[in-house]
């Protein structure tokens, strides 16, 4: 089949005005392909152009402009340009696969934030196969084939791909709406179904790397066939590619799923179940430290603690609305059709704490009541969502519910934000988060309870609070809880996946369902408002976050082992134990390495274990009551009086100081 060609210019009568990004205007007497407009602006710009934004839509440089328009030429520095560049590279990968594996069937190959991927129905690729594909891609790029776009009618497009024995492409075409333009891109002998945009030729691609290969279900459904997905990336400069590859190596070093196991912080076991991690002693010590800190801080801020059951009858969740709106995310114990009583493991603590509130009549003078609980919760997450400690089925959370009068709501909400920001700041994470006002979806009202007026009012009040506190935030429809809007404090893991770390929810509705009230100054019953909040969020997810943030080198106050005492020989074991006892008496977590190994070996081992302070002791230290200090922060800090070191480290732990690492790790 001959591939239709396009003409670069079409004659027309009137002057066509093109308004550029900087506001300047170019005038043309004929229709013009965008690539020619780019050349008219600057030959240099045309050489680096990847795509264009025409009247708000990202399009090919080969697109012909036929009327007055707003035009911005996109380079690799622009998101749209980068996407076109990398999407073109995914087509080069597909061509390389067809060259080396002619029987492979093509699926989809989009650009993504970090590069691109392409799915193939073919046997999995190992690293050697990826290297061969990469070599073939470079040959294709060197040939520099012109990339051409053409369209076909629906039935002809189907036949076109059937002739090429590409069943996945045929399925995609059949799923397109009637009347949809069906476009293809060809480069040399290779043609692919694609909406574009693409570069003008393959020779514009400069630096590529195939990163990995994995399995992926066709269209993301477990009911479909498992395909082979190849991930890659592309840049315009080798230096940028090398920097990205170094970044990937850093990600591997920080990945909590790998590092947490190496450091013996947690593990998982198939026979126990997916999403049910085992926290090991070192991991437990960190979470215990965090938990005690949070509970003490909440106590200072007027919280009272509760301890409530891990399960309840379905009756409780029917009152709260969770049975109707969240049942699929719960672990249900029993059969509603057969059993007199059906229970469920709790996915949240709020309804339990409501009954603590309802256990006595409350006056307006009693409010606000701030309930806090270190809660173990259970949520039936999808198996495909499970990942290390960030997405699990059983987890522990710093949960709290504030029962307040409506007139107290704004100030109490600010207090919850202040607590969350204090926690983030103390952990050194405040620069790593973003704030999101999560709103209801007015086009999907059956998902929520309450009236439109209540939702608009509560969302507006949260917006005002965030603005008053000068907290930058975004807004997202459809992310609210079913009973109220919330502030979600978001963070990304090392792979760029965003998760919610801390949530503060505004609830003006649930009190009605639970018949919660207080007696006001006039002796009348009034409904309270409720704030659902976490101060730190899920402890497991926070631990994962901290592992990746600090690459396992936690601030001293969080380290499972804060000091290791290293006697240079057996003769100084007694003094080493005396040093250890003094530290432990002052609450410092420490140990003595009594192994019959050389001191250099002991130091290297302690460094690998990420212990922040090493105390070397020998004859001089014992005689003078001193310790030779080595730290991850300054390296060799010299000799110090034992009492001075104890005072210094106790202050560092007490103030939760995050010391700066100023030296390369030393042996």
* 3-state class (DSSP) for residue 200: coil
Whole-number Å distance between alpha carbons of 617 and 640 = 11
Query: CA-to-CA distance for 184 and 428, rounded, in angstroms?
Result: 50
The continuous run of DSSP H or E covering 545 comes out as helix 539-550
Sign of the torsion formed by the C-alpha atoms of 413, 419, 421 and 424: negative
Instruction: For 426-455, give the DSSP string.
Output: HTT-GGGEEEEEEE--TT-GGGS-S-HHHH
Per-residue tokens: 166: 């590409």
Q: What is the 3 state secondary structure string of 464-525? A: HHHHHCCCCEEEEECCCECCECEEEEEEECCCCCEEEEEEEEEECCHHHHCCCCEECCCCCE
**Strand pairing partners for 526?**
518
- CA–CA separation, 492 vs 241, rounded Å? 22
For residue 260, give both structure tokens.
Answer: 């947490």
CA distance 295 to 426: 15
Burial of 623 from C-beta contacts in 10 A (0-12 / 13-18 / 19+): exposed
Q: How far apart are CA 129 and CA 101, in angstroms?
A: 10
Q: What CA–CA distance (Å, rounded) separates 108 from 169?
A: 8
- The answer to whether the annotation marks 573 as part of a ligand binding site is no
Q: Where are the alpha helices (DSSP H) in 301-451?
A: 314-320, 322-325, 350-357, 409-426
> What span, in angstroms and rounded, lies between the C-alpha atoms of 439 and 500?
15
Do residues 345 and 330 touch, judged by C-beta distance below 8 A? yes
**102: phi then psi, degrees, rounded to nearest 5:** -55, -25
Backbone angles phi, psi at 121, to 5 degrees: -90, 95
Is 350 marked as a binding-site residue? yes
Q: Which residues are annotated as a binding site?
A: 350, 401, 532
The annotated binding site for Zn(2+) is made up of: 350, 401, 532
């Amino acid at each position: 089949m001959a591939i239709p060609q396009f003409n670069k210019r079409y004659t027309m009568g009137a002057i066509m005005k093109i308004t550029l990004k900087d506001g300047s205007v170019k005038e043309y007497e004929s229709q013009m392909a965008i690539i020619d407009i780019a050349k008219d602006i600057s030959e240099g710009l045309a050489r680096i152009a990847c795509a264009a934004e025409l009247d708000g839509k990202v399009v090919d440089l080969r697109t012909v402009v036929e009327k007055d328009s707003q035009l911005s030429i996109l380079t690799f520095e622009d998101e749209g340009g980068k996407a076109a560049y990398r999407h073109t590279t995914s087509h080069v990968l597909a061509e390389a696969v067809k060259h080396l594996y002619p029987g492979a069937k093509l699926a989809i190959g989009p650009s993504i934030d970090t590069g691109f991927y392409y799915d193939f129905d073919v046997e999995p690729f190992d690293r050697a196969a990826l290297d061969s594909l990469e070599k073939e891609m470079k040959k294709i790029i060197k040939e520099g084939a012109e990339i051409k776009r053409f369209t076909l009618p629906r039935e002809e497009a189907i036949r076109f791909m059937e002739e090429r024995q590409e069943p996945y492409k045929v399925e995609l075409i059949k799923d397109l709406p009637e009347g949809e333009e069906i476009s293809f891109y060809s480069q040399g002998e290779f043609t692919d179904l694609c909406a574009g945009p693409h570069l003008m030729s393959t020779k514009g691609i400069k630096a590529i790397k195939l990163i990995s290969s994995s399995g992926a279900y066709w269209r993301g459904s477990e009911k479909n066939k498992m395909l082979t997905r190849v991930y890659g990336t592309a840049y315009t400069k080798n230096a940028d590619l090398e920097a990205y590859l170094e970044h990937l190596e850093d990600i591997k070093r920080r990945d909590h799923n790998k590092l947490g196991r190496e450091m013996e912080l947690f593990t998982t076991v198939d026979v126990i179940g997916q999403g049910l991690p085992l926290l090991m002693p070192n991991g437990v010590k960190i979470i215990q430290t965090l938990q005690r800190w949070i509970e003490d801080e909440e106590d200072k801020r007027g919280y009272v603690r509760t301890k409530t059951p891990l399960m309840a009858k379905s009756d409780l969740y029917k009152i709260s609305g969770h049975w109707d709106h969240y049942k699929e995310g719960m672990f249900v114990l029993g059969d509603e059709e057969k059993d007199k009583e059906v229970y469920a493991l709790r996915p949240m603590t709020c309804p339990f704490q409501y009954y603590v509130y309802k256990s006595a009549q409350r006056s307006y003078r009693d409010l606000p009541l701030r309930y806090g609980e270190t809660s173990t919760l259970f949520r039936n997450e999808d198996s495909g969502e499970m990942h290390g400690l960030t997405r699990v089925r059983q987890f522990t959370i710093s949960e709290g519910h504030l029962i307040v009068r409506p007139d107290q709501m704004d100030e109490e909400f600010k207090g919850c934000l202040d607590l969350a920001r204090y926690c983030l700041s103390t952990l050194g994470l405040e620069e790593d988060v973003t704030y999101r006002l999560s709103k209801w979806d007015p086009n999907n009202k059956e998902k929520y309870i309450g009236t439109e007026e209540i939702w608009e009012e509560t969302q507006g009040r949260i917006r005002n609070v965030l603005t008053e506190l000068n907290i930058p935030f975004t807004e997202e429809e459809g992310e609210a809880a079913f009973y109220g809007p919330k502030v979600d404090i978001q963070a990304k893991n090392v792979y760029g996946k965003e998760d919610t770390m801390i949530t503060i929810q505004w609830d003006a509705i649930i009190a009605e369902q639970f018949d919660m009230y207080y007696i006001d100054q006039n002796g009348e019953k009034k409904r309270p408002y409720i704030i659902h909040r976490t101060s730190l969020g899920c402890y497991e997810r926070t631990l994962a976050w901290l592992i990746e943030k600090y690459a396992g080198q936690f601030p001293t106050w969080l380290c499972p082992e804060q000091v290791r005492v290293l006697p240079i020989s057996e003769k100084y074991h007694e003094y080493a134990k005396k040093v250890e006892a003094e530290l432990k008496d002052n609450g410092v977590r420490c140990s003595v390495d009594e192994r019959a190994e050389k001191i250099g070996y002991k130091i290297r081992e302690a460094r690998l274990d990420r212990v922040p302070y090493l105390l070397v002791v020998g004859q001089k230290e014992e005689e003078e009551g001193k310790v030779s200090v080595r730290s991850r922060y300054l390296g060799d800090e010299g000799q110090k009086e034992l009492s001075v070191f104890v005072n210094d480290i106790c202050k560092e732990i007490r103030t939760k100081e995050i010391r700066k690492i100023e030296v390369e790790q030393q042996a």
